Amino acid sequence: MTDQPPQLFTAVDSLLAAVDDGTVLPAPSERARLREEAGLTQAAVAQALGVRVPSIAAWEAGRAEPKAERLEAYRRLLEGLARRYPAPAPQPSHEVTGPQRAPRPPASAPPAAPSALTAQPPAHDTVCAPATPEIETAEVQTFATPERPSARPAASRRPAAKKTADPVGTDPRFPHGPLAVLDGDGSAYGIDGIVLDCPARTIPQLVEWTLRESGLGAAKLHRYGKDSDPLIVLTAAAAVKLGLPERLEGHEQRRSLRLPADHPVVKQVVKAKWQLTQRGFGPWARIYRKAQGRERQCVQLAVLSWDALDERAWPGVTAMEPADIARVLGVYATRVITPRGSTAVSGLELMTAMRPPTRAVRDETTGNWVPGHNPGSLGTEPMDPAPPEATQEHPVVVNSGWTGGFLNEEAYQWVRDVDLLTAQECTLPYAVGLDLNTAFLAAAARLTVGLSAPDHFHAPTFNPKIPGSWLLDLSHIDLDPRLPSPFTPDGSRPTGPAWYQTHTVAYAQELGYNVAPIEAYLRRETGAYLDPWHDRLKTAYVDTLADLGVTKDLNDAEFLAAMEQHKQADPALAAVLSAIKATVKGGVGKLRERPQGRHYKAGERWPALERPTWRPDIRAAVISKARVNMHRKLNNMVKMTGLYPLAVLSDCVVYPSSGESPLAFLPYAESGKPQPGAFRLGPTPGLAKLEGVQPMAWAVDLMEQGLNPARHIKGGDAVLDEGE
């Protein structure tokens, strides 16, 4: 017996008093049940109680409790909901007396039923080593569905059902979802509120546990693709516990930082017969062994304290609690792809995942199943561009002595000449910025690109259906100087022959001008390679905005009001939205990744050139179409409203306005519906949202200094992401 019974009795009396006073709240799971039964979101409850959404999530997960007056208000809410939605009657035959465990993964889950094309393919070993430090290309294609070995499942806890729009456990082989965030106490936080007990104390033990016990991973996105390998995100405490330094120091670029080969953790990995990819053990480390039969053996690690999550793409995520980080990354993984690096890397990886390079085909000679080209994909081999499509340091250019100029398809950076402002425009009170939602993504829709190598033609007849690069002179085209030229990124009039992508030349033809190409590099095999990439990202973007309260059914005034508040509604989902947008722009930018490192010499091949997705011509096609789309809207605005822009920067345009809202100058029909062809407000890619409002005098002052108002219209000296 204790020798201090008075203290124990006092503690018990305090508990009884708390019950009598009504300050004891229902169990965390009951709090979540009551809110969900009532159809209330965490954001709605947070707004009513004057707290942030993560606080409600913490209360429902049992990680924290409300204090002072919020305790009384929260208790009152729960009591009111309990009267309206009483708990269901208990089912004795299914009672659980201990902590809830996730279901044990099946010892030998049968593989998914193969298609006719993949009914009897052989098992192929897969190697996870990448071709470049920054993006790992697809390995030899594995056609059969891989299986995880039977093993003791990881113990799990579910503190509360923290719901996301995409529930966990849709694939029985991966019952715990695509990823987990590991804390220093051995708790691995997954999506949907799952918490796994991870006993690993070294990196090799963590890899073994992840592959054999965790139940983590994600199903392939295409029938000919491969499953996503599990991702383990390490907090600073977890990294230190596993023998890693809390910070990764060095003088080179952050993306080049990695542990030295003689670091104890690297030695542990090698000793355990695991391998690291060419980019080594850095912020995104990939650890693998060669596949055994149909079973892949790869684990992706991300170290938060090594800046694995760039603040520009994942705002505020690194500072979140592990459960909230898991929610953010989990929603991104289920809607986009399990991250394998930066959002740019993930954007490029998604292209390959949605258009796998190979499929199983039958060898007519032997009757065996072998890897064959998947029509519509970029294949497995890198392809050199035409000289005008390359960069100045590319071997194709240096080795050939090319001096014929280069394709210059870039996003707009244009400011109207101040002398072209009218007195009426200068007297308007406001400058209003409009931003097009994911303009590059909208341009990728139904975009025909080249799939084969370029062929050279002299004096060809222009065909707008053939993707490629055309040399011609557009300097004779004289357009209104109050609009940017659609043919150059800076909006200036062309001065002589230059190389243009097909969409730019087609737009000159659309405006009524004759085009006479001098020569061209064209591709015979074409296809809408980016379509599935576009469709998945568009759905992810629209669904995430809808979860933040910005839905398609809102009228324009309601849309503007919802956009003003959407980031505050749920910071976690707002971070997902930011990452989706960064995935689009970064993925397009990666199509023409330049060499990195101060020791590079022009003419040398750099790692990015060894992947099939190094395709500057596809990047040029996306940007050309996006810029043409912007000019078409600018032109239609003049026809419908008589308004000319002050400046354009990438997908942002600034107009003089009589009011602080775009509703003051956007064109509407008599019925109140937006006029097609001009800028329209809405939540889907290609439609516009308010970027910012400033005084007209402010905009004119910047223009007189040679600065671009679109770059700063948001306030706080904001700078827009221009695409790469």
Retrieve residue 156's tokens: 């799990």
* Residue carrying the six token digits 């953010």: 328
pLDDT in tens, 275-307: 999 889 999 999 999 877 667 799 999 999 999
The answer to whether residue 423 sits within a structural domain is: no
* Contacts of 117 by beta carbon, 8 Å cutoff, 6+ apart: 359, 360, 361
Cα 343-345-348 angle, rounded to 5 deg = 110
pTM above 0.75, yes or no: yes
Whether residue 325 sits in one domain with residue 242: yes
* Contacts of 642 by beta carbon, 8 Å cutoff, 6+ apart: none
The answer to whether residue 145 sits within a structural domain is: yes
Stretch 539-543: mean pLDDT:
97
Amino acid at site 466: I
Residue 278 sits in which domain range?
Answer: 116-335
CATH code: domain of residue 61? 1.10.260
Torsion of CA 442, 445, 447, 449, to 10 degrees: 100
Q: Is the pLDDT of residue 662 over 90?
A: yes
Whether residue 132 sits in one domain with residue 33: no
* 8 A C-beta contact, residue 105 and residue 148: yes
Whether residue 260 sits in one domain with residue 198: yes
Amino acid at site 126: T
What is the reported pLDDT for 72? 82
What is the reported pLDDT for 599? 87
* 8 A C-beta contact, residue 259 and residue 282: yes
Whether residue 402 sits in one domain with residue 298: no
Measure the CA–CA gap between 592 and 589, rounded to whole angstroms.
Answer: 6
pLDDT in tens, 554-585: 999 999 999 999 999 899 999 999 999 999 99
Stretch 75-93: mean pLDDT:
77
Q: Is the pLDDT of residue 127 over 80?
A: no
Q: Is the pLDDT of residue 400 over 50?
A: yes
Q: Is the pLDDT of residue 269 over 90?
A: yes
Measure the CA–CA gap between 526 and 468, rounded to whole angstroms.
Answer: 10
Gyration radius of the chain's alpha carbons = 29
Whether residue 66 sits in one domain with residue 126: no
Highest mean pLDDT among 116-125, 287-296, 431-440: 431-440
Q: Measured between alpha carbons, how far apart are the two ends of the chain, in Å?
A: 69
Retrieve residue 524's tokens: 């015979």
pLDDT band at 114 (very low <50, low <70, confident <90, very high): very low
pLDDT in tens, 454-478: 999 999 999 999 999 999 999 999 9
What is the reported pLDDT for 22? 55
Whether residue 40 sits in one domain with residue 127: no
pLDDT in tens, 483-501: 999 999 999 999 999 999 9
Handedness of CA 562, 564, 569, 573 (dihedral sign): positive
Whether residue 171 sits in one domain with residue 52: no
Measure the CA–CA gap between 693 and 446, rounded to whole angstroms.
Answer: 34
Measure the CA–CA gap between 525 and 521, rounded to whole angstroms.
Answer: 13
Stretch 84-104: mean pLDDT:
53
Cα 554-560-564 angle, rounded to 5 deg = 120
Retrieve residue 675's tokens: 């006029």
Q: Is the pLDDT of residue 128 over 80?
A: no
pLDDT band at 597 (very low <50, low <70, confident <90, very high): confident
Whether residue 281 sits in one domain with residue 163: yes
Backbone angles phi, psi at 630, to 5 degrees: -65, -45
329 sits in which H/E element: helix 322-335
* Whole-Å CA distances, 693 to 109, 384, 641, 710: 57, 45, 20, 10
Whether residue 140 sits in one domain with residue 230: yes
Retrieve residue 693's tokens: 């409002």
Position with higher pLDDT, 367 vs 90: 367
Q: Is the pLDDT of residue 222 over 60?
A: yes
- Residue 186, burial from CB neighbour count under 10 angstroms (0-12, 13-18, 19+): middle
Closest of 597, 541, 607 to residue 573, by C-alpha: 541
Q: Is the pLDDT of residue 236 over 90?
A: yes
The answer to whether residue 663 sits within a structural domain is: no
What is the reported pLDDT for 98? 34
Q: What's the structural domain count of the chain?
A: 3
